[in-house]
Amino acid sequence: PIVDLTDNVLTARLPSGDSVTVYLYGAHVTSWKTSNGQEKLFLSTAAALDGSKPIRGGVPLVFPVFGPPPKSHATSKLPQHGFARNSYWEFLGKNSSESLGRKADDSVKLDFGLSSSMLDEGVRKKWPYEFGLVYSVTLSKGKLDCQMHVQNKGNEPFEFNVLFHTYLAVKDITKTAVKGLKSSPYVDKMREAKTFTEESSSLTFESETDRVYTPPTGQGNSLVPLVVTEGGQDSFVVTRDSLPDVTVWNGWVDKIKGMGDFEPKDGWKRYLCIEPGTVSSWTKLEAGDAWEGGTAYESKL
């Protein structure tokens, strides 16, 4: 694989032609292309790429809080979705597939790190815990795998949320559906954040959708994969590891109209956020302990 880091932007390309771009600002994946050159992530053409605000599109990282922080929680002073997406991470290095026991050049694993000592002073004061994050992005043919490792390096426990706020590129949201959510309880932010149960085996989109699903586990307590379909054809398979929740979000016409950094304005038609995470309850990490979870997106088209 060819890996290049220039001006805080890392690009990696496999001999198959699959490629990924990661900004150190937010350790933010802004592009994932498969070997046929198809872009699999939606990125706003008005996204700020200069570190002035979180990047709109791609894979924003959410840590240590999802959404607006609750008033009575240790994260209460942090911005919406926390600080991971607006902090500069460091590139820790690459591992090519040989070391993962696969044929050389089949995949590349890119590791990024963020620790409490790297945060801006102001942010540290707002959430004064000692932590270390290692985010691993593994690119293989037709697949993007995102894993997060969280370590408590301090002397007291802390609570966190993690979520991968992925903007998948779709051709037409009105012809897009999500399978694998039937019977799942979900909190609907469009309906006073009340809880409902999904009845459809194929969730379609007709208006703004903003829900946090906690799908029932499958055999052996496994997390069931979700399948995104476009025009009836499978387009993405989303698998999860230690991430019980999935936010499904599309802002539709009006919400997107009000977002200054979302362009083009009809871009609402061409993205769907499928956001695996652990957000419906806090994950508590004792001093010295570590946690790991992640998700993988496989392109089927």
Q: Are 109 and 90 in contact (CB under 8 A)?
A: no
**Long-range own/partner contacts, residues 53-57 (CB < 8 A, 24 or more apart):** 53/86, 53/261, 54/26, 54/28, 54/81, 54/85, 54/86, 55/23, 55/25, 55/26, 55/28, 55/30, 55/85, 56/259, 56/261, 56/262, 57/30, 57/167, 57/271
Longest CA span, the chain: 52
59/108 with CB nearer ligand BG6 = 59
Q: Binding string to ligand BG6 for residues 209 to 248, with x set by CB under 6 A, is what?
A: -x------------------------------------x-
Cβ-based nearer residue to ligand BG6, 106 or 198: 198
Q: Tokens representing 120?
A: 């801006």
Query: For 264, phi and psi rounded to 5 degrees?
Result: -70, 160
Residue 175, judged by CB atoms within 10 A of its CB (0-12, 13-18, 19+), counts as middle
Please list every residue from 53 through 112 that binds ligand BG6, using CB under 6 A.
80-81
For the CB of residue 21, give the shortest distance to ligand BG6 in the complex, in Å: 19
- Does 33 help bind ligand BG6 (rule: CB under 6 A)? no
Question: Residue 132 CB, nearest distance to ligand BG6 (Å)?
Answer: 25
CA atoms within 13 A on the CB side of 39: 15
Catalytic pick among 81, 198, 230, 275:
275
45 versus 222: smaller Cβ distance to ligand BG6: 45
User: Rounded to the nearest whole angstrom, what is the least distance from the CB of residue 261 to ligand BG6 in the complex?
Assistant: 8
249 near ligand BG6, judged by CB under 6 A:
yes
Q: Which of 33, 40, 109, 165 binds ligand BG6 (CB under 6 A)?
A: 165
> What is the rounded distance in angstroms from the CA atom of residue 103 to the CA atom of residue 106?
6
Residue placing its CB nearer to ligand BG6 in the complex, 232 or 258: 258
Q: Which H or E element spans position 296?
A: strand 290-299
Annotation marks residue 165 as catalytic: yes
Residue of 81, 165, 198, 298 marked catalytic = 165
User: Site residues for ligand BG6, window 184-203 (CB under 6 A)?
Assistant: 189
Nearer to ligand BG6, 40 or 165 (CB): 165
CB of 111 to ligand BG6, least distance (A): 25
Q: How many residues sit close enough to ligand BG6 to count as binding (CB under 6 A)?
A: 8
**Residue 21 CA from chain centroid, whole number:** 14
**298 forms part of the interface with ligand BG6 (CB under 6 A):** no
State the catalytic residues.
Answer: 165, 275
- For ligand BG6, the binding residues (CB under 6 A) are 80-81, 165, 189, 210, 247, 249, 275
